[in-house]
A and B are shown apart, each in its own frame.
Chain A
Amino acid sequence: MTILIDKKNQVTEKIQPKGFLRYFSFSLDHKVIGIQYLVCGFLFYLVGGTLASAIRIELTSPMSDFMPRDVYNQVLTLHGTIMIFLWIVPVVNGAFGNYLIPFYVGARDMAFPRLNAVAFWLIPPSGLMLITSYFIDGAAQAGWTAYPPLSITTPQSGQIVWILSVLLLGGSSIFGGINFIATILKLRRPGLKLMQLPMYCWAMLGTSILVVLSTPVLAGTLILLSFDIVANTGFFNPVLGGNVVVYQHLFWFYSHPAVYIMVLPAFGLVSEILPIHCRKPLFGYKTMVFSIMGIVVLGLVVWAHHMFTSGTPPWMRLFFTIATAFIAVPTGIKFFNWVATMWGGKISINSAMLFSCGFIINFVFGGITGVALAQVPFDIHVHDTYFVVAHFHYIVYGGSVFVIFSSIYHWFPKVTGKLLDEKLGILHFALTFIGFNLCFAPQHWLGLNGMPRRVAEYDPQFQFVNQISSLGALFMAISTIPFLINIFLSVKNGKKAGDNPWKALTPEWLTSSPPPVENWKGEAPLVTEPYGYGSDNY
């Protein structure tokens, strides 16, 4: 009985805000919230990208001449924080998770629609707060890692605003994580077994477990750090007997899993996109599930590989080397499975597919440098250098951001009922892929040869390679233009897509495009074989 009443309430409430305005309302519809996450995240991506351009302009010359030194540190801190907490994490989790998970489990909404809306509406104010802190008394300037004692001794107001906004964003992330776990485990349509779910559900289940286990640790750590700043406590302040290395352990206990919070959902999205455009079942469903869970478990016990040059005893260095390197095994399985999914298919070469293939190539590269960085003796030379900068951009940009673009090309017809233009899409891909590799590949060399990260000035011998890197960044900046033009033109007068332009079998395509508020007219379909291609099922 209660379920019936609930359903009725949900539907009436969902209908209230109509048209374009509903995207600015406290909507409880998971599809509206998903789009809110995506558009909001993309706006912050443009801000973060502008900051990245400022960094690359500063680095075209070896002197600190484009902006004052303390502003440079604020810019790099904001760039990192915005890209991680306001773009990648909310988009790969919040945007696609909210839009797709209820479809995949056969539900009409998330388990907790109000919590869901709260989780989203925490993001715009904390993001704006973070950015405006720059105009008031200067933003935080201790890097996105905010290591004390630097974060205690730099101007306080910016650092406190940074802590507050990261706390709010962490809260948003935890709310989302709880919601995803509840939805996937408890809201499945009767008859739908766990091992029949699309792979993205498994990725989101794994990611949400990481979010719920590790984000509270970051929150606690930042609260202690804020006490050190405003109340002169001595948790991490060496002058008062505090221990700065303890902060690093606590920080990385969240922030290494954060990498998996950014890439596991991307792995899930690629697992949805590839089978559809290759017209083949996802290769090795079971090993994919086990490797996701393997990454979740291993991801929690590798954090100290960020601290090989801090105060870590030799045995600890050894343990974290082995644990970190072993993450390559489940990750490798996924990549081999994806290539096997392509093998023998009938592949449509379109923007979604190209971005996914670009992701595979970039991420393999980033994964290989990652295994190298896990080796203590290797890491000791390149730690905190541009080698590391290059490595993690291959993971989070070459990996996650490529997947975000792939997903936008793939699901745009679902959301709008219109197709994106393929010519502009392929131009967007070419510019991004070339620009990205031009920007970040040379940075490996810079790091190996003596350029530390987070510097506004450097040895003049590195100028030429830095200028190549900046040229790549220019390409990346330009690549957003065809993308934006494509989005605006296609929303207005794109080609009609029909309900299922890719002839896909996953449940979100078995309804109209755009879908009705209640997701399906009538019963939700029971999809037990989301990857049943190759047997003329449609």
Chain B
Amino acid sequence: MLSKSSYLIFIISGVIGISFWIGFNVNLLPTEASINAPIYDELFKILFIIGLILFIGMSLLVVYSLIKFRKRKGQIGDGIALEGNLKLEIIWTVIPSIIVLLVGLYSYNIYDRMGGMNELNHDHSAMGNNSEKIWAGISQSNNNLSLIDTNIEVSAMQFAFLFNYPKGDFISGELHVPVNKEISVKMESKDVIHAFWIPEFRIKQDIIPGQPTVLNFTPTKVGKYPIICAELCGPYHGGMRASIIVEEQSDYENWFNQNKKDELKA
């Protein structure tokens, strides 16, 4: 016969075990296709496990109390006259505070690794508008010295994205980028607020009229992914999508050279 406390330990470790198992075995996220994505998924996994432990634990407590302490037929009178317990109340103030603080610090670390705390910049020396104030976004190291253009300008309008490649002086309706290279997009809206979201990259940034924003990312997987507008922008908001095509460096160079303005062709 097990004692009461060993039952408790058994149930608690069971809840934690199940939460870890679900956290590691159930994948709720799409493909990882940028260097941000595995970092994001690591944070997601931790939050998912902590959340599961709390949710399963609380739900079990509620259901257990409902069944165990239900009023039986013919029973009269009240429950125990317990008005509080300072020790318990301190415990469930302090422990959640510590969890919340640790999660906050951890997510700060994640954000830093994603490049969120870096100075915002977008090297547009070719365009000569370096001094322009960038408003917001995520910037990674951006010390990319490739000859091929990886600084791309995005303009959003009702209900399309256009991608301007300044070094090739051409505009495309699809965003082509080379794999494993850091890409920097500077975005501005022509009319209302839009948003630039690539779920497989785990990144999003609003595109704001009058205030350019910047987003840096490094794709890691060749393929075609959707670019989705995530900010209500009018009747055709749901249809406002484009594609990002991540390709090998050589394929990208071919595409770029085919499209660039004739006078720029060597």
- Which A residues fall within an 8 A CB radius of B? 64, 68-70, 72-73, 141-143, 147, 149-150, 153-154, 238-239, 241-245, 278-287, 309-314, 317-318, 321-322, 325-326, 328-329, 332-333, 335-337, 339-340, 342-349, 353, 357, 360-361, 364-365, 368-369, 371-372, 375-378, 380-381, 383-385, 444-445, 448-450, 452-459, 531-536
The answer, among B79, B97, B114, B231, for a CB contact under 8 Å with A329, is: B97
Given contacts A342-B66, A376-B107, contact A278 B79 (CB under 8 A): yes
The answer, among A141, A243, A349, A450, for a CB contact under 8 Å with B66, is: A349
Mind listing 29 A-B residue pairs with CB under 8 Å? A68-B235, A141-B235, A147-B192, A147-B193, A150-B192, A242-B210, A278-B69, A280-B81, A311-B135, A311-B136, A318-B111, A325-B100, A339-B65, A343-B65, A343-B69, A357-B66, A361-B58, A372-B51, A375-B103, A375-B111, A376-B111, A377-B110, A378-B44, A380-B202, A381-B203, A450-B199, A456-B237, A458-B238, A533-B79
Give complex CA distance A381, B195 in Å.
11
Judging by beta carbons under 8 Å apart, are A333 and B89 in contact?
Answer: yes
Judging by beta carbons under 8 Å apart, are B43 and A375 in contact?
Answer: yes
Given contacts A150-B193, A377-B111, contact A346 B204 (CB under 8 A): no
Interface centre among B51, B58, B239 (most CB of A within 10 A): B58
- 1/0 contact trace for B200-217 toward A, CB 8 Å? 101111101111010000
Give complex CA distance A455, B135 in Å.
27
B61 surroundings in chain A (CB, below 8 A) = 339
Interface class of chain B by DSSP: mixed
Given contacts A332-B96, A346-B71, contact A310 B206 (CB under 8 A): yes
Q: How many residues of B contact A (CB 8 A)?
A: 80
The distance from the CB of B216 to the nearest CB of chain A, in whole angstroms, is 13
Judging by beta carbons under 8 Å apart, are B71 and A70 in contact?
Answer: no
The answer, among A279, A377, A459, for a CB contact under 8 Å with B226, is: A459
B116 surroundings in chain A (CB, below 8 A) = 314, 317, 376-377
Total A-B contacts with CB atoms under 8 angstroms apart:
281
Query: Shortest 5 CB-CB distances between A and B: which pairs?
Result: A534-B81, A455-B238, A238-B210, A345-B79, A450-B199
A376 surroundings in chain B (CB, below 8 A) = 107, 111, 116
A347 surroundings in chain B (CB, below 8 A) = 65-66, 69-71
The distance from the CB of A80 to the nearest CB of chain B, in whole angstroms, is 11
CB-CB nearest in chain B for A376:
B111
Give complex CA distance A180, B152 in Å.
56
B104 surroundings in chain A (CB, below 8 A) = 321-322, 325, 375
Judging by beta carbons under 8 Å apart, are A361 and B59 in contact?
Answer: yes
A332 surroundings in chain B (CB, below 8 A) = 92, 96
Give complex CA distance A380, B40 in Å.
10
Judging by beta carbons under 8 Å apart, are B55 and A149 in contact?
Answer: no
CB-CB nearest in chain B for A447:
B199
A286 surroundings in chain B (CB, below 8 A) = 84
Give complex CA distance A322, B101 in Å.
8
CB-CB nearest in chain A for B98:
A329
A279 surroundings in chain B (CB, below 8 A) = 71, 77-79
Judging by beta carbons under 8 Å apart, are B107 and A375 in contact?
Answer: yes
Give complex CA distance A13, B77 in Å.
43
CB-CB nearest in chain B for A72:
B235
